[in-house]
Amino acid sequence: MIVKIINKSDNALPHYETEASAGMDLRAVTTEAITLKPLERTIVKTGLFIELPVGIEAQVRPRSGLAAKHGITVLNAPGTIDADYRGEIGVILVNISNENFTIENGERIAQLVFARHEQAQFEEVEVLSETARGQGGFGSTGKN
């Protein structure tokens, strides 16, 4: 799949680190280091602008290392990049640790995963089909 991209950052284009990686790392673009206090959030720029084929979305997902080691995650994970979006990709990072965390320019902050999606048309009805689950949800099948 070809995705058009404008790269206004000083970083190389995002790329897959290994042969079968699902995600490409996104790097922060910032003139000065950003320090996130506990529970603080910010939108980090990437300098990247993409044009996705219709029917493809890009998901902005956390990096597990940042989450596990520092409590840094993508607040709206997975962030959705729509195929008709032409703005800069931003990453909403939040610090859910008890310590400050500093993001340097060029640091890998999140990853981008491309996915196919459907658009649905609603068919409004009065009754839905019966199933074994019925209206059970939110833990209705037990704890374990």
Residue 112 sits in the site that holds ligand DUT (CB under 6 A): no
Q: 69-91 burial, b if ≥16 CB within 10 A, otherwise e?
A: ebbbbbeeebbebeeeeeebbbb
Q: Which is nearer to ligand DUT, 71 or 83 (CB)?
A: 83
Residue 72 sits in the site that holds ligand DUT (CB under 6 A): no
**Binders in 79-108 for ligand DUT, by CB under 6 A:** 79-82, 85, 89-90, 92
With CB under 6 A, what is the number of residues at the site for ligand DUT?
10
CB of 75 to ligand DUT, least distance (A): 8
Out of 76, 104, 106, 115, point to the residue binding ligand DUT (CB under 6 A).
Answer: 76
Residue 47 sits in the site that holds ligand DUT (CB under 6 A): no
CA distance 104 to 123: 49
Residue 23 sits in the site that holds ligand DUT (CB under 6 A): no
Looking at beta carbons, which residue is closest to ligand DUT?
A: 79
Question: Cα–Cα–Cα angle for 22, 105, 23, nearest 5°?
Answer: 0
Using a 10 angstrom Cβ sphere, with 0-12 exposed, 13-18 middle and 19 or more buried, the burial of residue 15 is exposed
Beta partners for residue 112, in sequence order: 24, 60
Task: Compute, in degrees rounded to 10, the torsion defined by CA atoms 23, 61, 80, 1.
Answer: 0
CB of 131 to ligand DUT, least distance (A): 31
CB of 22 to ligand DUT, least distance (A): 17
Where on the chain is the footprint of ligand DUT (CB under 6 A)? 60, 76, 79-82, 85, 89-90, 92
